[in-house]
Amino acid sequence: MFTAERVADKSDWITTETGDWEIIIGLEIHAQVASKAKLFSGAATKYGAEPNTQVSLVDAAMPGMLPVLNEYCVEQAVRTGMGMKAKINAFSRFDRKNYFYPDLPQGYQISQLYHPIVGEGEMQVELDDGDSIIVGIERLHLEQDAGKSIHDLDPNATYVDLNRCGVALMEIVSKPDMRSAREAAAYVRKLRSLVRYLGTCDGDMEKGNLRADVNVSVRRPGGELGTRCEIKNLNSMRFIQQAIEYEARRQIQILEGGGEIDQETRLYNTDTGETRTMRSKEDAHDYRYFPDPDLLPVKLSEDWLARIKADLPELPDEKKARYVKDFGLSEYDASVLVSDREKAAYYEEVAKGNDKKLAANWLLNEVFGKLNKENVDINDCPVSAAANCAIVAMIAKDVISGKIAKQVFEICWTEGGDPEAIVEERGLKQVTDTGAIEAMIDEIIAANPGQAAKVKDKPKTLGWFVGQVMQASQGKANPQAVNKILREKLLD
Amino acid sequence: MTALNELTLAAALKGLANKDFSSRELTQAHLDAMAGAEALNAYLIATTDQALAMADASDERRKNAETGPLEGIPLGIKDLFCTKGVRTTAGSKILGDFTPSYESTVSSNLWHDGAVMLGKLNMDEFAMGSSNENSAFGPVVNPWRAKGGDQKLVPGGSSGGSAAAVAAGLCLGATATDTGGSIRQPASFTGTVGIKPTYGRCSRWGIVAFASSLDQAGPITRTVEDAAIMLRSMSGHDPKDSTSLKADVPDFTAACTRSLKGLRIGIPKEYRVEGMPAEIEKIWANGMDWLRAEGCEIIDVSLPHTKYALPAYYIIAPAEASSNLARYDGMRYGVRVEGADLTETYEKTRGQGFGEEVRRRIMMGAYVLSAGFYDAYYIRAQKVRARIAEDFKNAFSQCDALLTPTAPSAAFGINARLNDPVQMYLNDIFTVTANLAGLPGISVPAALDNTGLPLGLQVIGKALDEETCFAVGGALERAADFNAKPSKWW
């Protein structure tokens, strides 16, 4: 579904002297399939290997070599398609895209133009402000990556590393359904989260296994669509957003100056933050696509598809729905928790045997807060999910107060150790013995008769007594019990 | 006693088994014959040392009673097959001294079965041609000459080196490949037997690709039985070739003497082309008579789309070739001619590395695939291809095999047709259909024409039914009693 009708949120409009503009964005994501072997050869795909050490005879296009499809990659493409709720094509086929370049040994890239393995779908994309948009998926197809040309080792020569040549990519093409850099970023984040849940792509943009080509055009809000430019090969969330912002403003400037946008392919310069022409439409290659006669069509049986579907893990959208429905979490809290697989898994471990909401609050407020502050990834959190589970259990059973819990968490973070043992050894257990609390209260009332007398007229001053008791108990007195007894003694 | 290099492959196997001679003696006899046949230009390389070492190893295995189906048999290998450690050129300059680090599946099957490699055989560049005049290493000369003449004739192509070597006793059999007739037409021109099996019967792995959807390996030999023996070793499923068929390989040799009683043989009426020499008409009719005598029923069938086959073939094959040959870019192996920049390096390398016919086909292929022409040419040609396959399917609902001439003429003179590519392409008129439909076809020598040159008949079978091809081919061979040999002039 192409939702060109959708007009950008006003806060995303670009306003200039001539009025308002909105940006129309479509993305082509190249996601490297998390496979140990390449798409059509058995060569390894390990990142960072010595140049040209992971190259088979097929990858180097030696005479007489033939591609053999890696079925594992097909399965990952299908799983990704299912994750995007897209149509899986029982019949797909590989085509050759012909062009000459030294890092393309065959002289053609094997891709899927005419019959992609995955057709249309759609994804719900949550934005930072809690809203969400629907982004249509046009298609997902499998293709080979090219090698790497290295131009800066020698002023008179280009070196070629074929390690990446033949690695399986999923090209995921969205519809032009995004209206701002932040929406595009949210889409990439959602897609990244999805493929990581599925394990079909590592989603590591730094290693280049998730890259984006961005199509940008501008129009008057709700008006006629403009001519688009494609910005190639963006490999970070920041660059994607900066390139969109720059490109939109560049196009607006041209249009406002009475010019026209040339449909062209552009490159983003990460140093200057600008885009520049890579090739114009006139220079566009004629790729002479045709079905690869070395490969048979891919035919997927219903049984096989059903089996793959049954084996899919719970995906973020379903997980979120379950957290809301079964755990009673808010939509927002649930979407933060499911935003990546590790967070959700961590949460479920903390919540095990505990009150789900309490566990969610604890995690979102305390644990994630600390992780953000210290800039630590959840996978490297020094306090284990099991330890947090124990802390939450102690809060729930009134063994410790929320305040003490934070203290325990800090100790676990800096010193490590078992939370229950810490509470035990350091005498942090909450005092729930009403006799002991009553004795403390009696002592404080006796020492402050004037204050005590005022409480009946000014019930708010009860809080002062609560503070005194908590102080006297070093925070260990159960606040509910303290409140209850104080009320009985001073208000009733 | 027959000279060792004039034995049939089957007879040589018997001789080896009887210890009448050793593989070394047999191999040496061929190496000697090769050394005396340079005028034919059939071999690009004689792998003499390797041949003798392989022969000795074979004799050793025979001593230990470890014999394979081709134990000790010296063979020639078309230079389209990659051979480990032995220069492989595909008949082109562009590959330079390219020496593969790997062995094609088909040739390694042969070595596995005990065969001995004599050398690499000349061919049309990248298997493109019907006369072997497109080799970068000079044309192969047909060992046959017209009666009383001394004009040099072409051996056909593209497997001209294979056919000439077999006809001249320079090997007991040779590997060949057939994309539009490149096994069968040279077999017809040289009085030899050649079979193109069902597409997918032989692995294409390690064979330099011309047109992937049409290329198929097969043997050229002196008898139908020899072809059956050799094809059996060459065949078999190969997981490294996705288009290789997972089919059992039957005992083709047993099929050669199978009774034909009750078999229905179709005669496609569209193969009676205008201007066909009367002699070809005559041997075709003879073929029908011979098969009738064997108890076959001869029936007329129609393959209505035949006339579109050649145009479709000359779209599909160049299209695939234009892409398959893109890898010869001077970047990783083979010849490289430096230019001022990358584009010029590509242009010079490919412009100088490829011969005229290869360049012509790359241009045609790029043209038919280009934007705006793809639907009109490539897609239409694929539709024609589907119709042709359907034609055969319909025909095979009425008959068991088809009998046709192999080629529209006997061998012609070197240089006679060089300047007329279309005339040259017409050589494939009876053979391309089997490639387009993926069917097996065998060419068997049927007679000499009135100038004393051999002519072949073709039997086309159902997919994976090479056995019927061998059975009918065997019967034709016996009936024709073709035992003419080229008289040695070289």
Distance from CA of B452 to the nearest CA of A (A): 39
Given B88, B329, B378, which is nearest A107 (Cβ)?
B329
What are the tens digits of pLDDT across the range B377-419?
999 999 999 999 999 999 999 999 999 999 999 999 999 988 8
Q: Tell me, yes or no, whether B123 lies in a domain.
A: yes
Write down the residue that tokens 């199978």 correspond to: B258
Phi, psi of A488 (to 5 degrees): -60, -40
Active-site residue B182, yes or no? yes
Give residue A1's pLDDT: 42
Find residues 72-91 of chain B whose CB sits inside 8 Å of chain A.
Answer: 81-82, 88, 90
Please give the distance of CA B259 from its chain centroid, rounded to a whole number. 27
Q: CA–CA distance from A202 to each of A126, A207, A274, B376 (Å)?
A: 21, 9, 29, 43
Size (chain A), residues: 492
Enumerate the residues of chain A whose CB falls inside 8 A of the CB of residue B378.
Answer: 290
Per-residue pLDDT of chain A (492 residues; tens, 9 = 90+): 445 678 888 899 999 999 999 999 999 999 999 999 999 999 999 999 999 999 999 999 999 999 999 999 999 999 999 999 999 999 999 999 999 999 999 999 999 999 999 999 999 999 988 889 999 999 999 999 999 999 999 998 999 999 999 999 999 999 999 999 999 999 999 999 999 999 999 999 999 899 999 999 999 999 999 999 999 999 999 999 999 999 999 999 999 999 999 999 999 999 999 999 988 877 778 999 999 999 999 999 999 999 999 999 999 999 999 999 999 999 999 999 998 899 999 999 999 999 999 999 999 999 999 999 999 999 999 999 999 999 999 999 888 888 889 999 999 999 999 999 998 888 888 777 778 888 888 888 888 888 888 887 888 888 888 888 888 888 788 888 888 888 888 877
Enumerate the residues of chain A whose CB falls inside 8 A of the CB of residue B370.
Answer: 286, 288
B59 and B154 part of one domain: yes
Enumerate the residues of chain A whose CB falls inside 8 A of the CB of residue B367.
Answer: none
B377 and B462 part of one domain: no
Chain A residues contacting B via beta carbons under 8 Å: 57, 60-69, 96, 98, 100, 102, 105-108, 160, 286, 288-290, 293-296
- Rounded Cα distance, B425 and B413, in Å: 16
Peptide bond into B233 cis (omega under 30): no
Tokens of residue B376, six digits: 């009109």
Domain membership of residue B92 as a residue range:
4-262+402-480
B374 and B432 part of one domain: no
Model-level pTM?
A: 0.92
B327 and B183 part of one domain: no
- Rounded Cα distance, B417 and B426, in Å: 11
DSSP string, A284-321: ------EE-TTSPPEE--HHHHHHHHHTPPPPHHHHHH
DSSP string, B31-51: HHHHHT-GGGT-EEEE-HHHH
Test B101 with A107 for CB contact under 8 angstroms.
no
Distance from CA of B211 to the nearest CA of A (A): 8
DSSP string, B92-107: -STTTT---SS--HHH
DSSP string, B123-171: -SGGG--SSSTT-TT-----S---TT----B---SSSHHHHHHHHTTS-
Q: Tell me, yes or no, whether B307 lies in a domain.
A: no
Gyration radius from chain B CA atoms: 21
- Rounded Cα distance, B178 and B157, in Å: 9
Catalytic residue among B131, B158, B203, B322: B158
What are the tens digits of pLDDT across the range B446-487?
999 999 999 999 999 999 999 999 999 999 999 999 989 999
Give residue B347's pLDDT: 97
Q: Contact A183/A127 with Cβ under 8 angstroms?
A: yes
B225 and B336 part of one domain: no
Tokens of residue B122, six digits: 């000349």
Q: CB A262: neighbour CB atoms within 10 A?
A: 13
Query: β-strands B297-301, B264-268: how paired?
Result: parallel
- For the cut 50, the answer to whether the pLDDT of residue B130 exceeds it is yes
Q: Identify the band that residue B157 occupies on the pLDDT scale cut at 50, 70 and 90.
A: very high
Test B82 with A63 for CB contact under 8 angstroms.
yes
Enumerate the residues of chain A whose CB falls inside 8 A of the CB of residue B374.
Answer: 288-290
B425 and B337 part of one domain: no
Q: Identify the band that residue B426 occupies on the pLDDT scale cut at 50, 70 and 90.
A: confident
Test B369 with A288 for CB contact under 8 angstroms.
yes
Q: Which of B138, B171, B248, B214 is nearest to B388 (CA)?
A: B214
Q: Tell me, yes or no, whether B291 lies in a domain.
A: no
Query: β-strands A91-92, A298-299: how paired?
Result: antiparallel
- Rounded Cα distance, B379 and B122, in Å: 34
- Rounded Cα distance, B380 and B386, in Å: 10
B48 and B177 part of one domain: yes
Distance from CA of A64 to the nearest CA of B (A): 4
Q: Does B329 touch chain A (CB under 8 A)?
A: yes
Report the chain B residue with the minimal C-alpha distance to residue A96: B323
Q: CB B47: neighbour CB atoms within 10 A?
A: 22
- For the cut 90, the answer to whether the pLDDT of residue B351 exceeds it is yes
Residue A110 pairs in a beta bridge with A96
- Rounded Cα distance, B284 and A444, in Å: 124
Residue A219, Ramachandran bin (φ over 0: left; ψ between -120 and 50: alpha; else beta): beta
B367 and B410 part of one domain: no
CB-based contacts of A481-487 (< 8 A; 24+ apart in sequence): A481/A431, A481/A432, A481/A434, A481/A437, A482/A437, A482/A441, A485/A434, A485/A437, A485/A438, A485/A441, A486/A441, A486/A462, A487/A462
Size of interface A-B (CB pairs under 8 A): 96
Q: Tell me, yes or no, whether B490 lies in a domain.
A: no
Report the chain A residue with the minimal C-alpha distance to residue B317: A293
Enumerate the residues of chain A whose CB falls inside 8 A of the CB of residue B333.
Answer: 62
Residue B176 pairs in a beta bridge with B218
Report the amino acid identity of residue B319: A
Test B207 with A64 for CB contact under 8 angstroms.
yes
What are the tens digits of pLDDT across the range B46-73?
999 999 999 999 999 999 999 999 999 9
Q: Tell me, yes or no, whether B228 lies in a domain.
A: yes
Test A290 with B212 for CB contact under 8 angstroms.
no
Q: Contact A364/A336 with Cβ under 8 angstroms?
A: yes
* Predicted ipTM > 0.90: yes
- Rounded Cα distance, A450 and A465, in Å: 12
Q: Does B100 touch chain A (CB under 8 A)?
A: yes
Catalytic residue among B58, B107, B182, B409: B182
- H or E segment at B111? helix B105-112
Which CATH number fits the domain that encloses residue B115?
Answer: 3.90.1300.10
B61 and B175 part of one domain: yes
Find residues 340-369 of chain B whose CB sits inside 8 Å of chain A.
Answer: 342, 346, 366, 369
DSSP string, A362-378: IIIIIIHHHHHHHT--G
Given A57, A60, A288, which is nearest B370 (Cβ)?
A288
Q: Which CATH class is domain A434-490?
A: mainly alpha
B133 and B188 part of one domain: yes
Enumerate the residues of chain B whose CB falls inside 8 A of the CB of residue A105.
Answer: 327, 331-332
Tokens of residue A109, six digits: 């890239």
Give residue A4's pLDDT: 60
Tokens of residue A459, six digits: 């019930």
- Rounded Cα distance, B191 and B176, in Å: 15
Q: Contact A243/A214 with Cβ under 8 angstroms?
A: yes
Parts of chain A belonging to CATH 1.10.10.410: 434-490
Tokens of residue A244, six digits: 């969109």
Q: CB B141: neighbour CB atoms within 10 A?
A: 24
Q: Tell me, yes or no, whether B278 lies in a domain.
A: no
Read off the DSSP letter of residue A346. Answer: H
- Rounded Cα distance, B424 and A271, in Å: 60
DSSP alpha helix (H) spans, B196-341: 224-234, 252-255, 278-293, 309-324
> Please, which residues have CB within 8 angstroms of residue A57's CB and are 6 or more apart in sequence?
A41, A65, B101, B102
Test B242 with A294 for CB contact under 8 angstroms.
yes
Q: Tell me, yes or no, whether B390 lies in a domain.
A: no
Q: Contact A129/A108 with Cβ under 8 angstroms?
A: no
Q: Which of A40, A66, A97, A104 to mutate to test binding with chain B, by most B CBs within 10 Å of its CB?
A: A66
Q: Tell me, yes or no, whether B309 lies in a domain.
A: no
Read off the DSSP letter of residue A436. Answer: H
Tokens of residue B104, six digits: 């094609």
Q: CA–CA distance from A52 to each of A4, A108, A143, A160 (Å)?
A: 45, 19, 20, 8
B116 and B31 part of one domain: yes
B196 and B255 part of one domain: yes
Q: What is the mean pLDDT of chain B?
A: 97
